[in-house]
Chain A
Amino acid sequence: MNRRLTSLVMVVVLLVLGAGVARGQGQVGTLEITGVPTDVVAGRYDRDAGVFSADVSDIAGALVSVKLEDVTIVGKTMEWRTDDNYLLFTVEAKLTQPDFELTGDQIEYFGEEKKLKSLGSVVVITDDSTVYADQLDYDEETDEAMFTGNVRVVFSDGVLEGEKFLMLLEQSELQFFGSFQGEFSDSDD
Chain B
Amino acid sequence: MIKLRSLMKKAVIIVAVLTMAVVLLFRYFAEPPPPPVSVSPSVQLLESRLVGRKDGLRQWEIWTQAVLQTGDVVTLTDLEEISIFQAEEAYLFIDAETAVWDRKLDILHLHASKVRDEEGDFYLESDLLIWAGTNETLTSPGPVFILWQDLEIRAAEMVLESTTNLLYLKDDVQILDGSMVWRTDSAIYDLDRESIDFYGILVLEEEAGNEQEID
Contacts and interface: CB of A to CB of B under 8 A. Distances in A.
Interface of A: 19, 22-23, 25-48, 52, 54, 66, 68, 71, 73, 80, 82, 85, 87, 109, 111
14 contacts: A23-B213, A28-B205, A28-B208, A30-B206, A31-B204, A33-B201, A33-B202, A36-B202, A41-B197, A41-B199, A42-B200, A44-B196, A47-B177, A48-B193
B64 interface: no
Interface stretch (B9-17, B38-46, B78-86, B178-186): B178-186
Nearest to A27: B208
B203 to A, nearest CB: 5
Contacts of B35: none
Contacts of B196: 44-45, 47
Contacts of A54: 202
Nearest to A51: B195
Nearest to A64: B202
Interface in B162-215: 177, 182, 184-186, 193-210, 212-215
Count class of interface residues, chain B: 20 to 34
A27 B205 CA distance: 11
A38 B199 contact: yes
Interface string B52-75: 000000000000000000000000
B202 A42 contact: yes
A34 B202 CA distance: 7
B212 A82 contact: yes
Contacts of A33: 198, 201-203
Given A43-B197, A73-B215, 13 more contacts: A23-B213, A25-B208, A30-B205, A30-B214, A32-B204, A38-B185, A40-B200, A42-B201, A44-B198, A45-B195, A46-B195, A80-B214, A87-B214
